[in-house]
Amino acid sequence: MATIEHRAQSVRVCWRLGGTRDGARMSAPFTAADPVAALALAMQAKKLVEAYEHRITRDEVLRIILPEEEETSTLGGITLADWAKLWYEDRKPVNPDVPGMDDIQLDTLEKYMQILRSRVLPYLGHKFLAELTAEESGEKTLKEWVRALRKSRVKRTKSNPGGKPISASSVRAAHVVLHMVLGAAVPRFIPFNPVARQGGERKNRLGLPKARAFEGMFLDVWEVERIAQYCDDQIRDLWFVLVSTGLRLGELLVLRVQDVTVEGKEPEVRVRRALKSDGSIGLPKSETSVRAVSVSTEVAAVLAARCKGKGPRGLIFPCPGKKRTRGAEQTWAENNLYRRHWLPAVAEAMRCSEHPPPEPPKPARGPRRRLRFDEVSTCACPGVLRRRPRLHDGRHTHATDLIRDGWELHDVQRRLGHASPVTTLTIYGHAWDGPKRKMLDELAERRRKKLLLDDEAA
């Protein structure tokens, strides 16, 4: 049965295509200057949907209910804030394990909405879509929004009340989300997307800042081992498997016994789930992230030891000491894993036994405090870690090792679960260049020989 919902200045009709629970969600919004007129249009649409036994799409309903001349009269007659709500509801998945419209997963959709609420709607939410598409004033409004965003500051603390300037990537991310939301309003509410680049226009007409290129940290073998030396028992195996398989941390933390094969000629890990930023468990990042990842004999042995004595649904890397829910092991909270286990291990790897950092001052009362994570050695002794990697850099390290070992682009892409080989090239393209030191040494040697021959000839 079709239902009518009131959404701020609009009224929409909602139904399931075909009238079944599994049918695609459809919604047809109606906006008019008079709320009674909008409700009347929605009632007509409801009767139309039910007359067709719910076998009619949203575009067909709008085409029938709103003739061309009437449709153009309400074009753009909705604010960006109201349209963002409709856009969100249309794409919100009914089942968290199944992506919604445009294949957007719930956690990703929530991130988009957070960006809209914090960086778009406070500036543009009150604007009607028609105002944003106006030839001169609309572009001026969007340029002013970009300028205001570039001047904003984030992460204000007591020690730094002014905060720090927003990053270029954050500004561009807000632009991408707005581009997506306004693109979905074409042609129902606006004739074109005012954020998109139109034919003949210059590339960066809104003044977006230039984003810095992605810089992953690729660790050398000794750096990986140095960190592993100081990892506690609760994360040592996790770090080893992470840097040996290239899995995302969220994929590894929810890996179950039934997801791995540790015996036979081809042991493998099957990625079917992922830990989301809000602590929930859902589908991996994309369709290509659902994959099988082959593992070495050494990794298979580590996984086999951790699977021993556990049922098929048992977590291979559960959070130790965390209370169980209905007998089930609990997953790590990534912040807890990072601050209580990873940062201490990295800090110890950055401290030299011969030149340790100065001890904290002795307080008048109580014990001396522990060294902070940023209190590390500054000596130049070999074998001491000089940089502060993230856990995710284990994935980058594994990818770089594969490339320098001669793996082909598509093999690396499939193993990492990238949706496109372009992503793999963007992040790891430099690794295919290979080391240049030997070539440069050979070039220098040839130049020296040529110089000697020239001297002899003279």
* pLDDT tens per residue across span 17-32: 878 776 777 778 887 7
pLDDT tier at 67 (50, 70, 90 boundaries)?
low
Lowest mean pLDDT among 50-59, 125-134, 160-169, 430-439: 430-439
pLDDT of residue 74: 47
What share of the chain in percent tops pLDDT 70? 90
Chain segment 70-102, per-residue pLDDT in tens: 443 345 578 899 999 989 988 887 666 666 666
Lowest mean pLDDT among 67-76, 109-118, 247-256, 446-455: 67-76
Name which residue leads in pLDDT, 68 or 19: 19
290 neighbors 283 (Cβ within 8 angstroms) = yes
pLDDT of residue 434: 66
> Pairing relation of β-strands 260-261 and 164-165?
unpaired
DSSP state for residue 381 in the 8-state scheme: -
Q: Distance between CA atoms of 452 and 449, rounded to whole angstroms?
A: 5
Q: In this structure, how many other beta carbons lie within 10 angstroms of the beta carbon of residue 265?
A: 4
pLDDT tier at 214 (50, 70, 90 boundaries)?
low
Straight-line distance from the first to the last Cα atom of the chain, in angstroms, rounded to the nearest whole number: 98
On the question of pLDDT at 210 being above 50, the answer is yes
pLDDT of residue 102: 63
pLDDT tier at 135 (50, 70, 90 boundaries)?
confident
Q: In this structure, how many other beta carbons lie within 10 angstroms of the beta carbon of residue 228?
A: 16
Q: Distance between CA atoms of 249 and 275, rounded to whole angstroms?
A: 8
On the question of pLDDT at 323 being above 60, the answer is no
Calculate the alpha carbon distances from 338 to 21, 239, 282 in Å: 41, 12, 21
Query: What DSSP element (H or E) covers 177?
Result: helix 168-183
Q: In this structure, how many other beta carbons lie within 10 angstroms of the beta carbon of residue 352?
A: 17
Calculate the alpha carbon distances from 180 to 174, 185, 300, 356 in Å: 10, 9, 43, 52
DSSP state for residue 259 in the 8-state scheme: G
Calculate the average pLDDT of the chain. Answer: 86
pTM of the predicted model over 0.75: no
Q: Distance between CA atoms of 358 and 361, rounded to whole angstroms?
A: 9
> Which residue has 């001349």 as its token pair?
69
Q: Which domains does the chain have, with CATH numbers?
A: 1-74 (no CATH), 79-212 (no CATH), 217-358+370-458 (1.10.443.10)
Q: Enumerate residues 6+ apart whose C-beta is below 8 A from 249.
A: 242, 275, 334, 391, 392, 395
pLDDT tier at 199 (50, 70, 90 boundaries)?
low
In 262-385, at which residue ranges do the beta strands (DSSP E only) sit?
268-271, 274-275, 281-282, 291-294
pLDDT tier at 439 (50, 70, 90 boundaries)?
confident
Query: What DSSP element (H or E) covers 153?
Result: strand 153-154
Chain segment 365-419, per-residue pLDDT in tens: 989 999 999 999 999 999 999 999 999 999 999 999 999 888 999 999 999 999 8
On the question of pLDDT at 219 being above 90, the answer is yes
Tokens of 108: 């990703």
pLDDT of residue 282: 87
pLDDT tier at 327 (50, 70, 90 boundaries)?
low
Lowest mean pLDDT among 93-102, 217-226, 304-313, 396-405: 93-102
Of residues 394, 90, 118, the one with CA closest to residue 239: 394
On the question of pLDDT at 212 being above 80, the answer is no
pLDDT tier at 324 (50, 70, 90 boundaries)?
low
> Which residue has 């790891």 as its token pair?
428
93 neighbors 100 (Cβ within 8 angstroms) = yes
Q: Distance between CA atoms of 188 and 70, rounded to whole angstroms?
A: 12
